[in-house]
Structure 1
Amino acid sequence: MNFPQTASEEHIAFYGAGSMAEAIVRGMIHRSVVNPGQISMINRSNREHLEYLTNRYGVVTGQDPAAKNELLRGASIIILAMKPKDAGEAIGQLRPLLSEHQLIVSLIAGLSISTIQHLLGRKQPIARTMPNTSSSIGLGATGISFSPEADARQRQAALSIFEAVGSVAVIDEDKQEILTGVSGSGPAYIYYMMEAMIAAGIEGGLSPEQARDLTVQTVLGAASMMKETGEDPAKLRKDITSPNGSTQAALEVLADKGFTETVKAAVHRCAERSREMGESVRESLL
């Protein structure tokens, strides 16, 4: 977190040390958000993985129960990065260790702020987040919602963490499901379309390598064009669509197949399923 006066006072503990936790740690260290010694990581039992994290990033890890508890007590920010099925037990173990000034940041899909606070038995400051997998290369999109107990400093700290791995949108918690539909699962939609483009290229005579490289560069270029120009995608689409041209012919096929409505339906179904899964998580934990 970019706190010139107080950086030495910050300590971030990752409760769970999987791929998303590692991606965030890598981003924070790469962008000098915090020093490696200000980050601790713990998991349930994988000592070998913790040793790897220490050797690669210089972070502090805890393996025995006493060391884990000490790291959690001493953290100003605790990031919950375990699987939903493990959340109840982990939060139960965390409950007696907390002080009211610690910020809890959840990466757990479907776990609401109210459920976390209920499991903790107190109105703890909470940040609920939904990063996507592109965070692993520093190009993620994260939605974040805060409980009223999170103060301005804690909010800025949480934003700084996720800005280290991409862009961040602060949203009301009841928008977390639609955000999941748009950006949380969004990379999968793009990959699905890329699969089809590559397959079509190969069917038309391109080599698999050529079809892949051309598709990747096309998607990268289109995303970069939209970001750098700030133009609406509809305008950019129209700019390259000549009347009665080949692009128009292709777009007419997509329109005839209900492309827009299908994509919108997919996003809304993803949001609906996210809501269902969240309710399932809540019921399993309470």
Structure 2
Amino acid sequence: MEKIGFIGAGSMAEAIIAGLIKDGIFQPEQVIVANRSNSKRLEELSTKYGIKTTQNKKELAEESSIIVLAMKPKDVKAGTDGIQGEIDQKLIVSVLAGISIDTMKRIFGNQAAIIRAMPNTSATIAKSATAIAASENVTMNQIKKCQTLFEAIGICKLVDESQLDAVTGLSGSGPAYVYFLAEAMEKAASEMGLDSDVAKELIAQTLLGASEMIASSDKSPSQLRKEVSSPNGTTEAGIKVLQEKGVKDALISCVKRSCERSNEIKTEFQTALISSNS
């Protein structure tokens, strides 16, 4: 019986586990979770999902054919020490931001089958936009299996690893940009005297509806915007203010800077790992 093991028991690990069990991709008895010291958290997950938990990551690695690294990135070395000898013919899936496949190879060896995944926090409601990239030793069957895992919590796209920094800046950090926009809309609503609960519902539904329109329409966001903007109307008046304030350029710079920071973090982790091994 194939098993999947999670090293790390945080919110992302739980979101994936919940999706896998809900979709019937894995049964509870096929899921194992380990973390370093928080036995209360492991007990909580075991009770909620009926899964096996352990603080022995070597035991987890021995039993699992898929090993998901879901600890904090700074804990990657401590979280993987002792399991290097247990990964032969197994798939390693990393959801650790900023940890490159090359860095993973330094930990597990050049022959390891490694997939990097970049989900986002909307995984907790099964609406993640996830991108994955694979090392050369990953088989097509393993890629398809990994895509199935992440499709349980949203959508999943295969990209080259060189594109993952861009994915991080776009969809990895993207929910925060939308929340930032919602914050501004809430403040405007308050200043105009709208009830806060009413405003929140209206904003949420507006963002949800616009997102569904983008997803379901073959029209570009630019076209959809123009269709809402009647000449000399209310929407056009608002859009002109955004243009005058340079909001589009600011958002473009925001995504690009997030992408750059992802690359910086990747380099920092790789340098630190090399230094610790020298």
Q: TM-score range by the shorter chain?
A: over 0.9
Matched, 1:257 2:245: yes
Task: Decide which of 85, 88, 96 is 2:85's aligned counterpart.
Answer: 96
Q: What SS is found at the alignment partner of 2:130?
A: strand
Looking at structure 1, the residues matched to 75 and 23 of structure 2 have their Cα atoms a distance apart, in angstroms, of 31
Q: Distance in 2 between matches of 1:203 and 1:60?
A: 51
Q: Report deviation, 1:92.
A: 2.5
Which amino acid is 1:231 matched to?
K
Deviation at 1:137, TM superposition (A): 0.3
> How far does residue 269 in structure 1 lie from its aligned partner after superposition?
0.4
Aligned position for 1:3: none
Answer with 69-78 or 265-274: which moved more: 69-78
* Secondary structure of 2:82's aligned partner: helix
TM superposition score normalised by structure 1: 0.93
Which residue in 1 is equivalent to 2:18?
26
Instruction: Kindly provide the CA deviation profile for residues 113-132 of structure 1, in whole angstroms up to 9, marking residues without a partner as x.
Output: 11111112332000001110
From 214, 219, 222, the equivalent of 1:234 is 222
Distance 2:84 2:106 in 1: 10
Partner of 2:104: 116
Structure 2 SS opposite 1:93:
coil
The answer to whether the Cα contact below 8 Å between 1:53 and 1:59 also exists between their aligned partners in 2 is: yes
Partners of 2:67 and 2:93 within 8 A in 1:
yes
Contact 2:20/2:152 (CA < 8 Å) preserved in 1? yes
Instruction: Tell whether the 8 Å contact from 2:36 to 2:79 is kept in structure 1 after alignment.
Output: no
What letter is aligned with 1:80? L
- Aligned partners of 1:227, 1:192: CA distance in 2, in Å? 21
* 1:226-259 deviations in Å (ceiling 9; x for gaps): 2122321111111111001110010001011112
The reply on whether 1:216 has 2:204 as its aligned counterpart is yes
Q: CA deviation at 1:10?
A: 1.8
Distance 2:105 2:81 in 1: 11
For 1:96, the aligned partner's letter is: G
Q: Which residue of 1 aligns with 2:64?
A: 75
Distance in 2 separating the partners of 1:166 and 1:231: 22
**1:1-286 aligned within 5 A:** 9-63=1-55, 65=56, 68-99=57-88, 101-286=89-274
Structure 2: gaps (5+ residues): none
Off by >3 Å, runs of 4+ in structure 1: none
Contact between 1:92 and 1:120, CA under 8 Å: does it hold in 2? no
Whole-Å separation in 1 of the counterparts to 2:169 and 2:60: 35
Paired with 2:33 and 2:14, the residues of 1 have a C-alpha distance of: 9
* Distance across 2 between alignment mates of 1:257 and 1:32: 49
TM-score w.r.t. the length of structure 2 is 0.96
After TM superposition, the structure 1 stretch with the greater mean CA deviation from structure 2, 208-217 or 222-231, is: 222-231
- SS of the residue aligned with 1:79? strand
Q: How many equivalent pairs are there?
A: 274
Q: C-alpha distance in 1, partners of 2:82/2:171?
A: 32
Percent identity reads 42
Q: Tell me, in whole angstroms, the C-alpha distance in 2 between the residues paired with 1:134 and 1:240.
A: 27
Residues 117-154 of structure 1: per-residue CA shift (max 9 Å, x gap)? 11123320000011100011000011100001001221
CA RMSD of superposed structures (Å): 1.1
1-side partners of 2:262 and 2:87: how far apart? 29
Determine helix, strand or coil for the equivalent of 2:83: helix
Stretches of structure 1 lacking an aligned partner (at least 5 in a row):
1-8
- Whole-angstrom distance in 1 between the partners of 2:160 and 2:18: 28
Letter in 1 for 2:23: R
Task: Report if aligned partners of 2:8, 2:69 keep a CA contact under 8 Å in 1.
Answer: yes
